[in-house]
Homo-oligomer: A and B are copies of this chain.
Amino acid sequence: MRGISVQQLNWEKYQQDFAALSAIGETEAGMNRLAYTEADQEAHGLLAKMAEEAGFEVKWDGAGNLWITRRGTDDGNPDMPPLLLGSHMDTVPGGGKYDGLLGVMTAFHAMRLLEGMPQRRTVTLIVFRCEESSRFNCATVGSKLLADRLNGEMLKRYVDKDGISLYDEIRKLGGNPDNLFAERNYIKNAFGFIEMHIEQGPVLEERDTDIGIVNSIAAPYRLRITVEGTAAHSGACPMGSRKDALAGAAEVILAVEQLGRAYADKRIVATVGKCDVINEAINIVPGLVELYVDVRGIDKDTVTEVVTKLYEEMGRIAEKRNLHIEPAVLGQETPVKLNDDMAELLVEQCVPNRLTFLHMVSGAGHDTMYMAELTRATMFFVPCLEGISHNKAEAVSDEAVQNGLKLMYSTLLRICNLDPEEEREKEEMHRRFVEAM
């Protein structure tokens, strides 16, 4: 089997369409295409138009997810369930161009490249809504709704800074988050699901590797830690009389880092991403600080162990400093193991395309986590510059984009064009081989 050449990629068309979509919501400070905003709607509209021009079927589901389907010649054949692809188009404020959109455009363009090829299996691309938690403090909304992990009632509780609820935003665009039965069933009966994404971390670049095949997605355990001391005048309160909440918080920050490092070989990462001094002023000894902690791992017990040790550490700091330290659990998600058979199909296509690959963990959450509850799901990464993401400096080399596109296209050809006779023969050979062992 031969690999895909750059000449087969229709690269200029890809670049042109990516540029058109990534211009929507672009600002000086980076991308601002927050979920369900005008810019997000515009991007969905433009992609739908491109899909119609390519002759694909287009629809939006009750969550506002965009479904783009290219029917295969064997559509309706129960032995040929559809292959699903997916990613998202919404961004964080001040984000990069590639987070989400690269996966959507790679899947979409690979589907277009099937033009003129014998495509037996139907392929459906799902553009999930509201993958980023920035606007509503709730991530992967579209895929969670599809997986029945959220419902309309729950969406009413998530509001943006202007007080608009997720529920109202979805209703406004004509959606009904409680009516996703048909779509959930379609996914349950699918062949499997593939998401391509930028790594958003430095591993592939550091190891000079083209493709990261994701075995597991680490799940965040999130805490808000309130450190309470006593506010005092910075000049008038002697050092010995202080209950400085920020100095206590500094010890908590270092404890989180220390635990992350101690458990790094068990695939733990631990981060304090937010530190808010309440009523802060240069001449006030801080009386109240809120920290936001994110601990992730691929094994739930290990994450729990780290969090337990953090609690012990906080107890020690509180006692030593005479502070009140109160943790509140904001969320506790379960790490997700992805499907090995689907991953194997990706590995198979790396070889003829001369793509180096490694198996890895995704530290970041993705819609694939929820697709994995419904079907055989896999995911692959391409490297991004210095691992920078959620930042306007996010960058992906043309070569990395082309590598992702080759792998996606190659995999579609493999899964959708397969000759059923040949398949049956191969399966028979495999059966005989196993029996002979």
Q: Which residues of A contact B (CB under 8 A)?
A: 92, 94, 133-134, 199-203, 206, 218, 220, 222, 230-241, 244, 246-247, 249-251, 253-254, 257, 260-261, 264, 268-277, 279-287, 289, 292-294, 296, 330, 362-365, 386-391
Separation of A261 and B238 alpha carbons in the complex (Å): 9
Separation of A261 and B240 alpha carbons in the complex (Å): 7
| Residue contact A202 to B241, C-beta cutoff 8 Å | yes
Contacts A235-B362, A294-B234, A390-B233: A273 and B284 contacting too (C-beta < 8 A)? yes
| Residue contact A231 to B363, C-beta cutoff 8 Å | no
Point out the residues of chain B lying under 8 angstroms from A232, CB to CB: 201-202, 387-389
| Residue contact A286 to B261, C-beta cutoff 8 Å | no
| Residue contact B272 to A246, C-beta cutoff 8 Å | yes
| Residue contact B294 to A271, C-beta cutoff 8 Å | no
Contacts A220-B235, A236-B364: A275 and B246 contacting too (C-beta < 8 A)? yes
Contacts A272-B246, A388-B232: A237 and B292 contacting too (C-beta < 8 A)? no
Separation of A418 and B330 alpha carbons in the complex (Å): 70
Contacts A274-B277, A281-B273, A282-B273: A238 and B133 contacting too (C-beta < 8 A)? no
Known: A203-B236, A282-B292, A287-B391. 9 other contacts (CB 8 A): A200-B236, A230-B386, A233-B389, A235-B362, A235-B363, A238-B264, A273-B285, A274-B282, A282-B294
| Residue contact A390 to B284, C-beta cutoff 8 Å | yes
Point out the residues of chain B lying under 8 angstroms from A364, CB to CB: 233, 235-236, 283
| Smallest beta-carbon distance A384→chain B, Å | 9
Separation of A390 and B234 alpha carbons in the complex (Å): 11
| Residue contact B363 to A234, C-beta cutoff 8 Å | yes
Separation of A405 and B238 alpha carbons in the complex (Å): 26
Separation of A362 and B235 alpha carbons in the complex (Å): 7
Point out the residues of chain B lying under 8 angstroms from A386, CB to CB: 230
| Residue contact B206 to A241, C-beta cutoff 8 Å | yes
Contacts A240-B264, A241-B387, A251-B254: A133 and B233 contacting too (C-beta < 8 A)? no
| Smallest beta-carbon distance A403→chain B, Å | 19
Q: Name the residue on B nearest A279 (C-beta).
A: B94
| Residue contact A235 to B254, C-beta cutoff 8 Å | no
| Residue contact B362 to A281, C-beta cutoff 8 Å | no
| Smallest beta-carbon distance A314→chain B, Å | 14
Separation of A183 and B238 alpha carbons in the complex (Å): 36
| Residue contact A283 to B220, C-beta cutoff 8 Å | yes
Top 5 A-B pairs, shortest CB-CB distance:
A201-B236, A235-B363, A250-B250, A234-B271, A250-B253
| Residue contact B285 to A271, C-beta cutoff 8 Å | yes
User: Which of A251, A294, A362 has the largest count of B CB atoms less than 10 A from its CB?
Assistant: A294
